[in-house]
Structure 1
Amino acid sequence: MRKLGDMGETFTGLSGKTKEDFGHGDAEFVTYMNVFTNPIAASNGTENVEIDGCQSLVQYGDVLFTTSSETPEEVGMSSIWLENRANVYLNSFCFGYRLAVNFDPHYIAFMLRSAPIRKKFIFLAQGISRYNISKNKVMEMTVPMPKLNEQKIIGVFFTHLDNLITLHQRKLDKMKELKKAFLNLIFSQKLRFRGFTESWELRKLKDITYPAGEKNRENLPLDSYSITNEHGFIPQDERFENGGTMREADKKMYYIVSPHSFAYNPARINIGSIGYQNTDKNVIVSSLYEVFKTSDDVDDRLLWHWFKSSYFQKLIEQFQEGGVRLYFYYDKLCMGTLSLPSFEEQHKIGKYLDTYDNLITLRQEKINQLTKLKTTFLKNMFI
């Protein structure tokens, strides 16, 4: 265990400078968000700054800390500068730290963001409406500093984990973009399965859907569900600590949602807050939700994917109403139309897109596993 102040010294950021002060020189700066966001820092690379003096000049291997935030959990976030470039400076609300001992920069980057070390920073945060941290107090902090060879091994290990997470995230992003392209091609009828040549029929949503929410008048003890943008229906116990407000609430006014029903939040449908109830039991949701089912000649899975397409988004934008907050109620949904193929082709399209969604889910689970693994190591390695 070594005290930070015994291994290096601090330097300040551009105190008192604002964004309007920049734009007259040939220097770049590392912003608060550059430091806060990643363990490896980067300059903004887009705006020039005019600087008098060189107190905030950033060098390779400098550790950068945030000094102020609205929550104690965000104070003292650190990043390390690993570029050899001239004329780069540290912005305000940050301070720098330059080590005078041999160290592995990647070890330092991950160690300072580990759970045990972050707890020390949070403990030092002071304030009420805004929290600050003293660089002098930070320099009194002790941190684990193994031999340089072990630092390098640990640094390589976490860098490898980060690279894996980044690789899978890029693949996931590409898969999601490809899914959007598939949706546009399929629902524009530019891409069809072999053997299907019949024209699609324009249908009114009021003719292929009907209201399906029933009030829980008998106050049945059904499981309470919410609807999220990413995952649709999820139990309240999974979304909120202690089950949320619905655990102890009078549930007579909530809607019973039977299997094979759609439900959505009319105030959040524009950001994808819609779900499909595919459990084998009745559940309840808030009475704020709109609940409906489809007619027998509609494949629910195809319609689910249409709700995630740009075509549905355009329908929302056309008919939503309100002032500060916009709403898209079921009566507005019924004003829309969509083109549908035969039921057989609907089923094939829905099944194909479900398969692709499963691949996206598997990729996301891989990212979650790697992230959890990284979090576990960060928690236990630096105790």
Structure 2
Amino acid sequence: MAKKTNVPEIRFAGFTDPWEQRKLGEVAHRVIRKNEGNQSDLPLTISAQHGLVDQRDYFNNQVASRDMSGYYLLENGEFAYNKSTSGDSPWGAIKRLTKYEKGCLSTLYICFGLDQGDPDFLVTYYETNRWHGAVQMIAAEGARNHGLLNIAPDDFFETALTLPCLTEEQKQIGCFFTQLVSLITLHQRKYDKLCAVKKSMLDKMFPKPGETKPEIRFDGFTDPWEQRKLGSVAASFDYGLNAAATEYDGQNKYLRITDIDDTTHEFLKSDLTTPLADLAMSADYLLEEGDLLFARTGASVGKTYLYRQYDGTVYFAGFLIRARIGESADPEFVYQATLTDAYKKYVAITSQRSGQPGVNAQEYADYQLMLPSRTEQQQIGMTLRSLDNFITLHQRKLNLLRNTKKSLLDKMFV
């Protein structure tokens, strides 16, 4: 049986007709409503990630122009096309005004309103990459166009859309993705809130510069903290294995700077490798419980990772430095101390080089950190670690939802 064309891989029950191709100009009209009376003092700008946002908030309360009388006046539900490209929108972002009743946009944008179909479907359609080919072709071939940044409005409305014939199917798809986006937004807010709580705890559970006691501490602890060099609580500092990475052998993992997540500092296991070396002669580079790694060069200088047994058999690479924390300090506490603003400031100052930034083993050993009793260290480390686990759990849920959306965008559209 021949496969139907113009039919999505996944669709709601009851819909079987093939989708049809329409030009944008057949279902939408251009909005060229000038803000002659300067009705709104609300300038907007398009962000690929955040949609149509208040430019005064987005750009630190700075507006592009105080006089918006010549701008386009956009109303709730209408769309705008930003011809500027970005990583998130390689052919420009199309967004719909939903947060505000009215807003002003520069005439550099192409604005339009929908005449036929479901707006939630259309705004979701523009999150796929299906229309990018049409825009690219028009930009390359149009006589009036000189690249993507200068596509003419008339040509823009010639771009093709592939739509369900029935508005009802559009509505169901649009409603589904609207609910999915709301769920993602909810989890994003929870994640952001947890990250804010963690930042606040780091600020309050470690003494501020020049002080010997933190703002918040557990009951029963009153003694002042003492300042110690990191080198005095680490049994050794070692540089990593100078070896290339090869295909993962199923057991021996190789940890490089890029394998440490920039946000969670966890070992990313999506692209595992094994060191291309004689592993029988490389035992010195095996990580053990309590080993703390520091990135020593490049844009990630200062990034840290604390080895945990569940990460398995791990060798660490040459652009990392290992501090083997001794018995006088709790490894989890020392790791959490490297997430504080005081540590980040030290790295920012120390890493300054004539070439790319870097911090060597001796400079890490010289870092001065504040230490309470080991018992208090353990309580602080355990508490912050529990919060980290909670944050990681929410991040995984958020990533799962995002990946689900990405997959459905590919399978539910033609």
CA contact (8 A) 2:231 2:365 kept: yes
CA separation of 1:70 and 1:93: change in aligned 2, threshold 3 A: farther
Identify the residue that residue 334 of structure 1 maps to in structure 2.
Answer: 365
2-side partners of 1:298 and 1:313: how far apart?
20
Match of 1:281 among 302, 305, 313: 313
Q: 1:79 is matched with which residue?
A: 95
* SS of the residue 1:232 aligns to: coil
**Aligned equivalents of 2:302, 2:134: Cα separation in 1:** 39
1:380 deviates by: 1.8
- More displaced stretch, 160-169 vs 229-238: 229-238
Deviation per residue, 1:108-160 (Å, 9 max, x gap): 21122124445554565649x96455552652403214534443333332222
The TM-score, its normalising length taken from structure 2, stands at 0.72
Partner of 1:262: 292
Matched, 1:44 2:55: yes
| Residues 214 and 326 of structure 1: CA distance in aligned 2, closer, same or farther (over 3 Å) | closer
Percent identity, aligned pairs only, is 21
**1:172 to 2:191 alignment:** yes
Tell me which amino acid in the other structure corresponds to 1:283.
Y
Aligned to 1:212: 238
Counterpart of 2:81?
A: 65
Structure 2 counterparts to residues 126-145 of structure 1, below 5 A? 126=140, 131-132=148-149, 133=151, 135=153, 136=155, 138-145=157-164
Residues in 2 aligned to 1:8 and 1:301: alpha-carbon distance in whole angstroms = 58
How far does residue 186 in structure 1 lie from its aligned partner after superposition?
1.7
1:121 and 1:248 map into 2 onto residues whose CA distance is 45
Task: Name the CA shift for 1:204/1:85 in 2 (closer, same or farther; >3 Å).
Answer: closer
Q: Secondary structure at the match of 1:34?
A: strand
Contact kept in structure 1, 2:298 and 2:356, CA below 8 Å: no
Contact 1:8 1:99 in 2 (8 A): yes
SS at match of 1:107: helix
Once residues 355 and 80 of structure 1 are traced to their aligned partners in structure 2, the CA distance between those partners, rounded to angstroms, is 40
Q: More helix per residue: 1 or 2?
A: 1
Gap runs ≥5 in structure 1: 15-24
Shift of 1:305: 0.6
Deviation of the 1:358 alpha carbon: 0.8
Distance 2:88 2:390 in 1: 38
3-state SS, counterpart of residue 52 of structure 2: coil
Q: Does 1:234 align with 2:248?
A: no
In structure 1, what is the equivalent of residue 127 of structure 2? Answer: 113
1:161 to 173, 180, 187: 180
1:18 maps to: none
For structure 2, the residue ranges without an aligned partner over 5 or more in a row are 1-19, 57-62, 208-213
Give 3-state SS (helix, strand or coil) of 1:296's partner: coil
For 1:363, give the aligned amino acid.
Answer: H
2:333 alignment partner, one of 302, 314, 321: 302
Partners of 1:110 and 1:377 lie apart in 2 by: 11
SS at match of 1:352: helix
From 227, 234, 238, the counterpart of 1:202: 227
Kindly state the Cα deviation for residue 331 of structure 1 after the two structures are TM-superposed: 1.5
Q: Deviations for 1:65-107, whole angstroms, at most 9, x for unmatched residues?
A: 2334377951142112347756x44325532233333x33222
- CA distance in structure 1 between the partners assigned to 2:381 and 2:53 by the alignment: 43
Alpha-carbon distance, 1:174 to partner:
1.6
Residue of structure 2 in register with 1:98 after alignment? 113
Structure 2 residue 303 is the aligned partner of structure 1 residue 292: no
- Indicate the residue corresponding to 1:8 in structure 2: 28
TM-score normalised to the size of structure 1?
Answer: 0.77
3-state SS in 2 of match to 1:153: helix
Give the Cα–Cα distance (whole angstroms) in 1 for the partners of residues 240 and 101 of structure 2.
Answer: 65
Q: Tell me the CA shift for residue 309 of structure 1.
A: 1.1
The one-letter code sitting in structure 2 at the alignment partner of 1:185 is K
Change (3 A) 1:28 1:109: farther
Counterpart secondary structure, 2:297: coil
**Aligned counterparts of 1:100 and 1:184: Cα–Cα separation in 2:** 53
**Aligned position for 2:13:** none
The number of aligned residues is: 360
* CA root-mean-square deviation: 3.9
Runs of 4+ in 1 over 6 A off after TM superposition: 246-253
